[in-house]
Amino acid sequence: MLDLKFVRENPDVVRASQVNRGEDPQLVDSLLAADEKRREAIKVADELRSEQKAFGKKIGQAAPEERPALLEGSYELKAKVKEAEEAQKAAEGQVEEIQYKISNVVEGAPAGGEDDFVVMEHVGEPTTFDFEPKDHLELGESLDLIDMKRGTKVGGARFYYLTGDGAFLQLGMMMLAAQKARENGFQLMVPPVLVRPEIMSGTGFLGDHSEEIYYLERDDLYLVGTSEVALAGYHMDEIIDLNNGPVRYAGWSSCFRREAGSYGKDTRGIIRVHQFDKLEMFVYCKPEEAEAQHQALLKMEREMLSAVGVPYRIIDIAGGDLGASAARKYDTEAWIPTQNTYRELTSTSNCTTFQARRLQTRYRDENGKPQVAATLNGTLATTRWLVAILENNQQSDGSVVVPEALRPFVGKDVIEPKK
């Protein structure tokens, strides 16, 4: 959520951010009005509590014959205090309700929606072939790497099996990412994939896109769509030590998405599925360090994409396509030859203090005073990468060249059709 003091002092900035996102700027005015009402309620309650305290002293000093009448008055005052405290609680609840509806303030992202991103850079030339290329599913099935038919039989649409070398390709990719994360000071974590509602809400995922999330009603738990959620909750209600620099984690987990509203989109293959594996970087830092950390996460994503040798581009996501918690987000998109376009492989978001304020994750400044931390996240590898790896490295005989960085994990240089 946003800092109330920031909203009071910069209402036009927050309104402009809401407009950039295509969201309601009037929420800012509603929040300011609710905050004014809350402060007035606090003032009334404080004054009545002070009056009650003074009245209590008066009773203690009164003569015995005076006390019955004074006690009668104290009961009336007690009722007023209770009423004022209930009004304060209601006013505070109203403020929090509106706060949770306002997304993070956009920082530098272009205005517009899903199609209004800005291309920052192209890396590598789109792959071309002197033969008709196969798509990733045809390759995956002919090389015994992917089994969609049995995945559908067992789990339903958008489920699959990775088999044989397909499983090793994914494990190799994830291990390469894990090693790279550790080399860059990240602590590897295998976090829970089920989280409590306050964790999911605290990270900003229960807003407009809550239909994307699997909810286990009997247990009141959510399946995560990214280990960002569990890593953000790791230090909930804690004061962490940032004196020696940012705290970095890399979460390796299975992830789950309902893909609600995506019917008919990317139904072929493993581009848009309900379950996948992902290694997600997560950083806690001081707010003034967040922008530099964002660039560092993007640099690691670049290095990982270069290691698997696929052409890609980097885009600056428009405000209307940002998640509620992100102030700015960069995506990397790999070239997919059979689709003749680029498709998202990674994203990295600067969430500033938005998530940590909701989750009460703080650090101590140089004066020992608690301050709200900033959080960032970024993908270092995920199942979807197999789409780009297979399609860009295929050969005319139907084989696929294994990227050099993955060969130690896969155990071969080329994956060939079964004879």
CATH number at residue 237: 3.30.930.10
- The answer as to whether 108 is a domain residue is no
pTM reported for the whole predicted model = 0.91
Mark whether 302 is an active-site residue. Answer: no
Mark whether 384 is an active-site residue. Answer: yes
- Sole residue written with tokens 């909203």: 7
Cα(35)–Cα(369) distance, integer angstroms:
24
* Shared domain check, 122 and 61: no
Cα(280)–Cα(81) distance, integer angstroms:
49
- CB within 8 Å of 327: residues ≥ 6 apart: 104, 105, 106, 107, 109, 349, 350, 351, 352, 354
Task: Say if residue 265's pLDDT is above 80.
Answer: no
Residue range(s) defining the domain that contains residue 89: 4-101
Q: Are 139 and 388 a contacting pair, CB within 8 Å?
A: no
Mean pLDDT of 195-202: 95
Q: Which of 196, 343, 344, 407 is catalytic?
A: 344
Q: Are 297 and 283 a contacting pair, CB within 8 Å?
A: yes
Q: Are 191 and 236 a contacting pair, CB within 8 Å?
A: no
Copy the structure tokens of residue 119.
Answer: 């291309």
Cα(414)–Cα(412) distance, integer angstroms:
6
* Shared domain check, 141 and 261: yes
- The answer as to whether 141 is a domain residue is yes
267 is in an annotated binding site: no
* Shared domain check, 255 and 396: yes
Sign of CA dihedral 204, 207, 213, 219: positive
* Shared domain check, 185 and 126: yes
* Shared domain check, 89 and 8: yes
- The answer as to whether 42 is a domain residue is yes
Q: Which contacts of 20-27 are long-range, i.e. CB under 8 A and separated by 24 or more positions? A: 20/106, 20/109, 20/111, 20/319, 20/320, 21/103, 21/106, 21/319, 21/320, 21/322, 22/113, 22/319, 22/320, 23/102, 23/103, 27/98, 27/101, 27/102
Task: Say if residue 176's pLDDT is above 90.
Answer: yes
* Shared domain check, 224 and 81: no
Task: Say if residue 209's pLDDT is above 90.
Answer: no
* Shared domain check, 151 and 87: no
Mark whether 268 is an active-site residue. Answer: no
pLDDT above 70 covers a percentage of the chain that reads: 94
* Shared domain check, 29 and 77: yes
Mean pLDDT of 269-287: 97
Mark whether 344 is an active-site residue. Answer: yes
* Shared domain check, 384 and 298: yes
259 is in an annotated binding site: yes
Q: Which of 158, 257, 313, 358 is catalytic?
A: 257
Mark whether 49 is an active-site residue. Answer: no
* Shared domain check, 91 and 137: no
Cα(255)–Cα(194) distance, integer angstroms:
10
3 state DSSP class of 75: helix
* Shared domain check, 328 and 228: yes
274 is in an annotated binding site: yes
Mean pLDDT of 166-194: 98
Cα(390)–Cα(166) distance, integer angstroms:
10
- The answer as to whether 82 is a domain residue is yes
171 is in an annotated binding site: no
- Where is pLDDT greater, at 174 or 260? 174
- The answer as to whether 223 is a domain residue is yes
Of 67, 101, 135, the residue that ends a domain is 101
* Shared domain check, 91 and 129: no
CATH number at residue 79: 1.10.287.40
377 is in an annotated binding site: yes
Cα(357)–Cα(375) distance, integer angstroms:
10
Cα(331)–Cα(346) distance, integer angstroms:
6
So what's the pLDDT on residue 207? 76
- Sole residue written with tokens 């309601």: 24
Task: Say if residue 57's pLDDT is above 70.
Answer: no
- The answer as to whether 111 is a domain residue is no
- The answer as to whether 245 is a domain residue is yes
- Range of weakest confidence among 44-48, 135-139, 410-414: 44-48
Residue 77: pLDDT band with limits 50, 70, 90? confident
- Range of weakest confidence among 26-35, 200-209, 220-229, 321-330: 200-209
Task: Say if residue 61's pLDDT is above 80.
Answer: no
Domain count across the chain: 2
Q: Which of 253, 325, 347, 349 is catalytic?
A: 347
pLDDT tens track for 361-395: 999 999 999 999 999 999 999 999 999 999 999 99
- To 5 degrees, how large is the angle CA 392–CA 397–CA 398? 50
